[in-house]
Amino acid sequence: MTERSGQAGDATGGPAPTTPVCYRHPDRETYVRCTRCDRPICPECMRDASVGHQCPECVSEGRRSVRPARTAFGGGAAGRQGYVTKTLIALNVLVMVLSIASDRGGDAAAGGSGFGGLMGGGTPLTGWGAVLALWPPPFPTEGVATGEWYRLVTAMFLHYGVVHLLLNMWALWVLGRTLEAVLGPLRFLALYLIAGLGGNVAVYLFSNPYSASVGASTAIFGLFAAIFVILRRLGRDTSAIVPILVINLIFTFTVPGISVAGHLGGLVVGALMALVLAYAPRMRRTAFQAAGGAILLVALLGLVLVRTAALTG
């Protein structure tokens, strides 16, 4: 009998099939394949998918191709975490601590003239950062009119005492989280800063040029106006916000020491910025919103120039 030699084969005479191995771990045999690229994957490389499993590379590629979630006004979903609101509150609290420290035992925290002595008094820090048009004559060397424009921004982070701070921070906590979730972090921050700036510009325009003003309420009133505009744009009921806004306006006009110009200025500018954010056309929303915010900023800076010329001319 003749003996024959050769390669082992299957029943049809072809080469024996090899066991598939994981493309990322060649030493591991597997019969599971990625449902997207069809490459074999071991249990360590399996990622659950809607149907079957996918490999890590296909999962990463799929995440890159998925557009991030956006709010109705183009903002990022990260706004639901309220990071900007929390940061603004923390910044205001930090500045209050620094203000108290700068006073060296004075009435920075309480003991001032407002609310039966519950409000605090001025400190070196509030004196540096308050909205002040001009230092009283005969030495008008300080104030916005002398070039200290930074006061229009710093004033919205300063407060006369802890009670003043708490009232504004409570309102910011309530309004800010809602608006940030709807608008997204960047748009909410732009709204807050532009409304606060608008209120401080109104103080510069219409208040006694020798009186100082501080407080986040310029921005807070902008948030009141914005939440009303946003709710109307979304077709939701605004009956809950109107009484709160009316009560705050009554306080504005009846309580001594409150800056009427600052509150109304923040209210108007906040409403305008909210209209820009809420009614921007969908196709070119971001460009329209950015342009609208820039126009408001330019208009506010123009008003500052006009007022400065009137005071120094």
Cα–Cα distance between 152 and 133 in angstroms, integer? 10
Which residues, in sequence order, are CB contacts of 107 under 8 Å at separation 6+?
120, 121, 161
**pLDDT at res. 179:** 94
User: What is the fold of 77-312?
Assistant: Rhomboid-like fold (1.20.1540)
pLDDT in tens, 70-81: 666 666 667 678
Here the tokens at position 240 are 């809950």
What per-residue confidence (pLDDT) applies to 241? 85
Q: Which of 53, 159, 164, 263 is catalytic?
A: 263
User: Tens of pLDDT along 216-268?
Assistant: 999 999 999 999 999 998 888 888 888 888 988 998 888 877 889 999 999 99
pLDDT at residue 105 in the model: 64
213 is catalytic: no
Position 8 scores a pLDDT of: 45
pTM, to two decimals: 0.76
Domain ranges of the chain: 17-56, 77-312
Active site includes 263? yes
pLDDT of residue 122: 76
Residues of the chain with pLDDT > 90, as a percent, come to 45
The predicted structure's pLDDT at residue 108: 66
pLDDT at 182 over 70: yes
Q: Is the pLDDT of residue 84 over 90?
A: yes
Per-residue pLDDT at 289: 93
Residue 39 has pLDDT above 60, yes or no: yes
Nearest Cα residue to 293 out of 198, 176, 155: 198
Of 99, 213, 217, 259, which is the active-site residue? 217
Provide the pLDDT for residue 304.
96
Task: Band the pLDDT of 1: cuts 50, 70, 90.
Answer: very low
Query: pLDDT-derived band of residue 35, with 50, 70 and 90 as boundaries?
Result: confident
pLDDT in tens, 126-166: 889 999 998 877 766 789 999 999 999 999 999 988 888 99
Residues 6+ apart with CB under 8 A from 261: 199, 202, 203, 205, 206, 207
Q: Among 12-21, 191-200, 233-242, which stretch is predicted with the lowest mean pLDDT?
A: 12-21
